[in-house]
Amino acid sequence: MASSEGKRKLVVAIDDSVYAEQAFDYYVENLRRDNDYVCFLHCPELYELSGASPAVVDRLLNEARDKVKSLEEKYKEKLKEANLPGKFRTGQGKPGDVVCQLAHEENAAFIVIGSRGLGKIRRALLGSVSDRVVHHSPIPVLVCRHPEQDKHQKKA
């Protein structure tokens, strides 16, 4: 990919959800600049594998590798369509912490992240990556919510 030197760098946290894709699309349609350099970050799911058979471990690792490769191809194509330079990185650990750390490493100007739109109870139980990033990032964070999330939450 093209060099990031002299460009405004941003980190876009992604997973295989529609929310991540909508967040990137929002950035492209509303905030994109010609001198931007995008660093996509994906944190694969961590599995508790103690006691699992070698066959199960191997299957889960292969599935995770395939999923990451598919995401990388998808988002590299989205960069190409948007005529933007960038790269794809993966990280391990708690996603919110990894996003903040990578943004620091990349000297990013801001972070773009989607929101799953969890309700208060589910967010308290499951945690929220976007909440974690907003509260721990030293740089601006754009949390993108899809309008349908608000309609869904009002019905729930």
Q: Can you give the pLDDT at residue 118?
A: 53
Predicted TM-score (pTM) above 0.85: no
Average pLDDT, the chain: 85
Would you say 44 and 95 are in contact if contact means Cβ atoms under 8 Å apart?
Answer: no
pLDDT surpassing 80 at residue 13:
yes
Distance of CA 150 to the CA centre of its chain: 21
Would you say 127 and 115 are in contact if contact means Cβ atoms under 8 Å apart?
Answer: no
Q: What is the pLDDT of residues 41-86, one digit of tens each?
A: 999 877 777 888 889 888 988 998 999 999 999 999 999 999 999 9
Q: Which domains does the chain have, with CATH numbers?
A: 8-155 (3.40.50.620)
